Amino acid sequence: MVKKSLIVIAVVALIAATAQAGDIFTKDKDVSYKEDGRWPYVYIPVEICKFPVYMEVGYFVTIEDCEKLEIVLEQVNCSGDNGIGKSSGDFPCYLGCEKFEARSNFDAIFGAELKKIGGVLDKTDIYFSEDDDNEIPGDGSWHDVEICIKAWKAKIYKAEPDDEVEVGEVTITVKPDSGY
């Protein structure tokens, strides 16, 4: 009889030691392991918590190959069909444009400033072409933008003759579109 009792006690102890894990409670989430029946005897990762990841994303705008951009002013008629809308008394007249690609993560408005170098340029107008606006959407895609310079009453006698004399420098600015 004692042998049978010892065997029964051993079997009950063995069953209790191999019983499935019950519910385990964490501080933030109740997790039940009854469904897979393996944990904690088979160590597998169990999802107990999810939370979002945030990032500070600032304004981003770039101009493709900015260091390669340049405007070459070529002499044109001051008036007439191929002119820049000035009179013949504004001679000599020049026009030059440069197209570039830009992208941004915000609706951007470009501006431009012309710094005159060497005293050759007198009267000037820097503008973005009528075809390509100076605004781009903040969709992250590349968009074409074209900037042009008109010059009249140029003082070409103030420079040495050469194919490309540096007469100015363009600075492109950008600001967010306020919607107004």
Mean pLDDT of all residues in the chain?
Answer: 84
CB 120, CB 93: distance < 8 Å: no
97: β partners:
148
**Predicted confidence (pLDDT) at residue 102 exceeds the cutoff of 80:** yes
Q: What is the pLDDT of residue 41?
A: 64
174: β partners:
110
CB 48, CB 39: distance < 8 Å: no
Mean pLDDT computed over 91-109: 96
| Each residue's pLDDT tens digit, 127-169 | 998 766 899 999 999 999 999 999 999 999 999 898 889 999 9
Q: 104 pLDDT band (50/70/90 cuts)?
A: very high
Percent of the chain with pLDDT strictly greater than 90: 63
Strands of 135-136's sheet in order across: 135-136, 108-116, 168-176
The phi and psi torsions of 17 (rounded to 5 degrees) equal -75, -25
Nearest to 41 by CA among 21, 69, 68: 21
Q: Please compute Rg for the chain using Cα positions.
A: 38
The phi and psi torsions of 24 (rounded to 5 degrees) equal -115, 135
Tokens standing for residue 139: 């969709």
| Each residue's pLDDT tens digit, 19-47 | 445 555 455 555 555 555 555 666 788 89
Q: What is the pLDDT of residue 178?
A: 81
Nearest to 96 by CA among 55, 51, 126: 126
Q: What is the pLDDT of residue 24?
A: 52
Calpha distance 108→174 (Å, rounded): 6
Calpha distance 166→154 (Å, rounded): 13
Residue type, 153: K
